[in-house]
Amino acid sequence: MKQAIVARVDLGMGEGKLAAQVAHASLSAYEDTRQSTQTEWKGSGQKKIVLKGSGEDELFRLADKADREGIPHAIIRDAGHTQLDPGIVTALAVGPASESVIDRVTGDLTLYWCGRHANSNKLSG
């Protein structure tokens, strides 16, 4: 079990803003998940990964793919109180669900690294 959160790199969000958007996405998708899946995910350590999204179009494409797979997901739009204008799409959470199902949607994306550790490592299954 895992959850993948895809955050937009094109917005240049600060690290705190990024963390807040990822948290909003994670919780929103979790709340839309069946109780049995919530319990299983919580019992297995609530594994999460944060991935790079190139822009709004990619997030909506991934959300459509998650919908076709029957995976709970949530698109997050910023409220506009700090760094971004209101309504800007910032993140997408996919799952929690089984790792293989999540990977069918997000497996081609790269990990989101902040600061001096930035690189473009690809995830593998």
DSSP 9-34: STT---HHHHHHHHHHHHHHHHHTS-
On whether the CB atoms of residues 91 and 7 are closer than 8 A, the answer is: yes
98 three-class SS: coil
The two structure tokens encoding residue 62 = 């991934």
Confidence of residue 125 (pLDDT cuts 50, 70, 90): very low
What does the radius of gyration of the chain's CA atoms come to, in whole angstroms?
A: 14
Determine if the pTM surpasses 0.85.
yes
Least confident of 12-16, 21-25, 67-71, 94-98: 12-16
Q: Please, what's the b/e burial string for 43-52 (b: 16 or more CB within 10 A of its CB; e: otherwise)?
A: eeeeebbbbb
Each residue of 17-39: pLDDT tens digit? 999 999 999 999 999 999 999 99
Each residue of 72-106: pLDDT tens digit? 999 999 998 888 989 999 999 999 999 999 999 99
